[in-house]
Amino acid sequence: MEKITTKFMRPQKVLLDIYTNLGFKMEGVLPDYVQDQKGHDQDMVVMAAPLGELRSAHNFIGNWLDDDHSSIGAGEM
């Protein structure tokens, strides 16, 4: 695994700030790609970060990087 990718709806601005602070970069935005709980179309934001750069933020992320995880389930990060 060389990079970690995250996807979330654009209105989740707090997530954008968190992932940006961790070193994730914007890879793209998919307009009207998902629907929220109220049925409204929302853009999906896709961000990614090289695993090597994330290791520098290891204290914030937690020690799952050391456990050789290949994926992260919903709510784990």
Assign residue 23 a region: left if phi > 0, alpha if psi is -120 to 50, beta otherwise?
Answer: left
Q: Is residue 23 part of a domain?
A: yes
The SS3 assignment for 55 reads helix
Q: Is residue 53 part of a domain?
A: yes
Q: Which residues contact 13 (CB under 8 A, 6 or more apart)?
A: none
Q: Is residue 48 part of a domain?
A: yes
pLDDT digits (tens, 9 = 90+) for 51-75: 877 766 665 556 555 565 555 555 5
Q: Is residue 75 part of a domain?
A: no
Beta-bridge partners for 41: 35
pLDDT band at 77 (very low <50, low <70, confident <90, very high): very low
What total of structural domains would you count in the chain?
A: 1
pLDDT digits (tens, 9 = 90+) for 17-55: 888 888 899 999 999 999 999 999 999 999 999 887 776
Place of tokens 């049925």: 39
pTM (two decimals): 0.67
Place of tokens 């179309």: 41
What range does the domain containing 57 cover?
3-67
What is the model's pLDDT at position 74? 53
Q: Is residue 56 part of a domain?
A: yes
Q: What is the CATH number of the domain that holds 45?
A: 3.40.630.30
